[in-house]
């Protein structure tokens, strides 16, 4: 009884400090979402270059997810997470002294390693809890995505008061403190380690599993889209609606905050109703919201009996923010439900599979901001970013229909039995 009580206490301690660490990591990972705006003016960047700047931390944070998941299975989350957090501190600090575009790209690759913390924390936390509570536990940990919203509150305040160079210095100090707290209050259980000599290339063979590919597609929109829009929204508000950076950051948090915090709710929903049901509705809500967000500001003239009349059609800042809030909630539930799929289907190697799916989601977060910039440079339409994401959601809906919905429907079963009889 005492042993069980101690294990429960250790499990919650691990969950709390892991969630704290992931929140700080995500705050650092999204730093360019705010700091990038003065840098864009200082360095004279176009929209494509700005998108590349935003995306560099996401690239490295995505590429390390698979090996980090494997190492967590093998060496334990406590060791791997501590090493990962400590590695980012010097890069964050040095960013304050960078002066050229390539400096920021290079430093962004190193500080972007913080984004890989998700692939460490997910299997680390999941193994401390029973199967019927893993969705909730992973959802609580995943709520660390709210670090994206925290960044939008903290960074603008520092930037306005002391200049952008103070932001990385403060963030480096916060990360150093997080390393100490995590090491003091985390725990290691040798029974959670998975003895494995599996190589990175061997784990990539899981991509031959169509279920893994499907989960990668889902996650590329619910997580990759979340990361991309978290990076893009502050400058979108500034450019589209002419807002001050502080006001823009606060409104952008209306998307980032629920997109992170409510992930725990999505985990509990997935435990209760299943990963498929939650993901199916997430995709439909996202599809509707993105359709409305895609419509650009438009003026059109029609001929009436009284002569030409001009109408304006477009989202005002309030409607836009409400739709982004709804989209953030949908993405939060979707991020949790996708990982519930993984916990259900791959209990023996959560670390490796979550690393692959996390890699796909992270690469979505890397590619999308660049494509946002390219589309804006080509078309001059800011809402083209939402048009692109609308198309990605369509792919997920079609894939889910053919592989899950149609297969489970009575019509699908009857048609299958009919073909067998014939």
pLDDT of residue 360: 85
Interval 161-210: pLDDT, tens: 888 999 999 999 999 999 999 999 988 877 777 665 656 666 666 667 78
Instruction: Of 161, 212, 245, give the one whose Cα is nearest residue 360.
Output: 212
Contact 66, 359 (CB under 8 A): yes
Q: Is residue 6's pLDDT more than 80?
A: no
Structure tokens at 359: 């890699």
Burial of 208 (0-12, 13-18, 19+ CB in 10 A): exposed
pLDDT of residue 414: 40
DSSP string across 203-267: HGGGGGSHHHHHHHHHHHHHTHHHHHHHHHHHHHHHHHH---HHHHHHHHHHHHHHHHHTHHHHH
CA distances from 249 to 236, 238, 338 (A): 10, 9, 28
Rounded CA gap, 393 and 349, in Å? 28
pLDDT of residue 22: 93
Interval 92-139: pLDDT, tens: 999 999 989 999 999 999 988 998 898 898 889 888 888 777 777 877
Structure tokens at 189: 């259980």
Among 82-96, 185-199, 352-366, where is mean pLDDT lowest? 185-199
Contact 43, 97 (CB under 8 A): no
Beta bridge partners of 299: 312
pLDDT of residue 421: 42
2-185+203-408: which CATH topology? Answer: Growth Hormone; Chain: A; (1.20.1250)
Q: Where are the domains of the chain?
A: 2-185+203-408
Q: Is 415 left (phi over 0), alpha (psi -120 to 50) or beta?
A: alpha
SS3 content of the chain, % helix, strand, coil (to 5): 85, 5, 10
Rounded CA gap, 24 and 335, in Å? 19
Global confidence as pTM: 0.76
Interval 252-272: pLDDT, tens: 888 888 877 787 788 788 888
**Per-chain mean pLDDT for the chain:** 85
């Amino acid at each position: 009884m005492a042993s069980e009580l101690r294990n429960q206490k250790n499990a919650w301690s691990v969950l709390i400090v892991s969630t704290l660490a992931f929140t700080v990591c995500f705050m650092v990972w999204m730093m360019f979402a705010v700091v990038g705006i003065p840098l864009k003016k200082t360095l004279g960047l176009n929209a494509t270059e700005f998108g590349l700047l935003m995306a560099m931390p996401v690239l490295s944070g995505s590429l390390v997810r698979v090996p980090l998941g494997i190492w967590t299975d093998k060496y334990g989350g406590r060791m791997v997470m501590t090493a990962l957090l400590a590695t980012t501190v010097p890069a964050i600090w040095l960013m304050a002294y960078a002066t050229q575009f390539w400096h920021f790209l290079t430093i962004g690759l190193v500080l972007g390693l913080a984004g890989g913390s998700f692939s460490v924390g997910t299997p680390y936390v999941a193994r401390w809890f029973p199967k019927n509570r893993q969705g909730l536990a992973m959802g609580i940990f995943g709520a660390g995505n709210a670090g994206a919203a925290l960044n939008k509150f903290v960074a603008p305040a520092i930037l306005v008061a002391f200049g952008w160079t103070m932001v990385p210095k403060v963030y480096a100090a916060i990360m150093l403190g997080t390393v100490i707290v995590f090491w003091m209050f985390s725990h290691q259980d040798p029974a959670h380690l998975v003895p494995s000599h599996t190589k990175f290339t061997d784990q990539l063979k899981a991509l031959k599993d169509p279920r893994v590919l499907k989960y990668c597609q889902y996650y590329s929109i619910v997580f990759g889209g979340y990361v991309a829009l978290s990076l893009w929204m502050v400058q979108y508000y500034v450019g589209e609606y002419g807002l001050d950076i502080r006001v823009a950051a606060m409104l952008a948090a209306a998307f980032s905050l629920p997109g992170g915090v409510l992930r725990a709710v999505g985990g509990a929903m997935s435990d209760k109703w299943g990963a498929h049901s939650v993901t199916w509705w997430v995709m439909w809500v996202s599809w509707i919201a993105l359709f409305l967000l895609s419509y650009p500001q438009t003026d059109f003239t029609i001929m009436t009996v009284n002569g030409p009349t001009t109408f304006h059609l477009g989202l005002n800042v309030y409607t836009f923010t409400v739709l982004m809030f709804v989209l953030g909630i949908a993405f939060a539930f979707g991020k949790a439900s996708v990982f519930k799929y993984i916990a259900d289907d791959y209990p023996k190697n959560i670390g490796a599979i979550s690393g692959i799916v996390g890699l796909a989601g992270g690469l979505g977060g890397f590619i999308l901001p660049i494509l946002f910039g390219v589309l804006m440079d080509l078309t001059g339409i800011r809402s083209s970013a939402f048009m692109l994401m609308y198309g990605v959601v369509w792919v997920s809906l079609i894939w889910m229909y053919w592989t899950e919905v149609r297969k489970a429907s009575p019509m699908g079963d009857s048609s299958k039995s009919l073909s067998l009889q014939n």
